[in-house]
Structure 1
Amino acid sequence: MSTLLEVSGVTVTFDGFRAINNLSFQIGKAEMRAVIGPNGAGKTTFMDIITGKTKPDEGRILWGDRSENLLKMTEAQIANAGVGRKFQRPTVFEAQTVTENLRMALKRPRSPFSVLRHRPDAQEKADIEALAEEIGLKDHLEKQSGYLSHGQKQWLEIGMLLAQDPQLLLVDEPAAGMTAPEREHTTDLLVRTAKTRAVVVVEHDMEFVRRLNCKVTVLHEGSVLAEGSLDHVTSNQDVIDVYLGR
């Protein structure tokens, strides 16, 4: 499997505190990965580095077939290169309908002139309907997004990211606050998504991670503590000591 993202020897220090410590990580083009670890392990900073929000003190991050240096890109350039991020709290336009949210997110020319002259066409309508079907909101296209359930808002935000056709999707605690049926649907959605692109899920819920049925990376004090199947990492004594035993 060819590598999409390669993080090598990355270190980040905040006011003398080493949040990321010589971290190395890689993921393939169509792969699901769960990232777990105690609070303060560096999970959020890890995502901040990949998306360009935080610049490391040292190390390198290579991206895509041409092994481009992600550290030389701005946040906007990284997003345009195909990195999408979903934060824990859904951020959708609540006064707009599901259709309008998905339409705004669709990948297309963004010049002021093209936006002013934009008229929805049959292809765009079909793309929006296909996206809505994929995320489970086809029956809610004309509903104002503020009236969706918490889980449905999460799915809509994932749909808005998918509309931008990312190669890598970073998802922060998608199961938090969901009902059991919503969690099941979210699992299915992420597993399907990982068949065509890379998906990194940061999650605390071990049962949700087990349902993802993927390789797991355990972070601790800014470094990779263990990596492998969930059964493999949860039987690791170091992981038990610093995370599972708490």
Structure 2
Amino acid sequence: MSTLLEVSGVTVSFDGFRAINNLSFQIAKAELRAVIGPNGAGKTTFMDIVTGKTRPDTGQILWGDKSVSLIGMSEARIAQAGIGRKFQKPTVFEEQTVQENLLMALRKDRGPLAVLFFRPSRADLDRIAELAAQIGLTDTLPRVSGELSHGQKQWLEIGMLLAQEPQLLLVDEPAAGMTPAEREKTTAILVEAAKTRAVVVVEHDMEFVRRLNCKVTVLHEGAVLAEGSLDHVTKNQDVIDVYLGR
């Protein structure tokens, strides 16, 4: 499988504190990966450097078939290149319907006039129906998004990111605050999404990670401590000492 994203030898310091320490990480084009680690391990900073929010002090971040460097690219350019990020708290347009939220997220010309005169085509509406089915919100398309449950808002936001057709999706703690049934459905949505793109899930919840049934990267003090299946990494003595032993 060819590599989609390659992070190598990346270091980031804030006021002398090394948040990321010589980090190397790579993910293939259609792969699901979980990233775990204790608080302060560098999980959020890792997402910040990939999306252009934070610029590393050293190292390389290479993207796509042509190995384009992401360092120095704006956050908007990186998003256009095909990297989508979902933060912990869902950010949907609460006053708009589920359908309107998904329509606004479609990959379209975003100029002021284009937005003003946008009328969805049959193809647009078909794509929305497809996305709604994928995130389990077909029945809620006409509903105002503010009325949705926490879990449904999370799925809507994942749908809005998928509408932009990213090649890599970074998802921060999707299971937080969800009911067991919602978590199960979230697992299914992410597993399905990873069949056609790379999906990185940053998560604390070990049960949720187990359900994802994918390769796990353990971060500690800004570097990779262990990598492999969940069973493999949870038997690693270093991981037990710094993470599971707490």
Shorter chain as denominator, the TM-score bin is over 0.9
3-state secondary structure, aligned to 2:90? coil
The corresponding residue for 1:106 is: 106
Distance 2:198 2:19 in 1: 24
Q: Tell me which moved more, 112-121 or 186-195.
A: 112-121
Distance 1:151 1:118 in 2: 29
The superposition leaves residues 171-217 of structure 1 with CA deviations (integer Å, 9 ceiling, x where unpaired) of: 00000000011000000000000000000000011110000000000
3-state secondary structure, aligned to 1:26? strand
The corresponding residue for 2:40 is: 40
Distance 2:172 2:31 in 1: 16
Following superposition of structure 1 onto structure 2, how do residues 8-47 of structure 1 map, counting pairs within 5 Å? Answer: 8-47=8-47
The corresponding residue for 1:157 is: 157
The reply on whether 1:118 has 2:124 as its aligned counterpart is: no
Distance 1:196 1:93 in 2: 27
Q: Show structure 1 runs of 5+ residues with no match.
A: none
Q: Show structure 2 runs of 5+ residues with no match.
A: none
3-state secondary structure, aligned to 1:243? helix
The corresponding residue for 1:167 is: 167
Aligned pairs, number: 246
Q: Give identity over the alignment, percent.
A: 78
Distance 2:121 2:89 in 1: 32
Name the amino acid aligned to 1:149.
S
Cα contact 2:8–2:25 (8 A) shared by 1: yes
3-state secondary structure, aligned to 1:72? coil
Distance 2:119 2:181 in 1: 37
Q: Normalized against structure 1, the TM-score is what? A: 0.99
The corresponding residue for 2:239 is: 239
The corresponding residue for 2:78 is: 78
The superposition leaves residues 140-160 of structure 1 with CA deviations (integer Å, 9 ceiling, x where unpaired) of: 001110110000000000000
3-state secondary structure, aligned to 2:71? helix
The corresponding residue for 1:221 is: 221
Distance 1:120 1:60 in 2: 40
What is the alpha-carbon root mean square deviation over aligned residues? 0.5
Following superposition of structure 1 onto structure 2, how do residues 83-94 of structure 1 map, counting pairs within 5 Å? Answer: 83-94=83-94
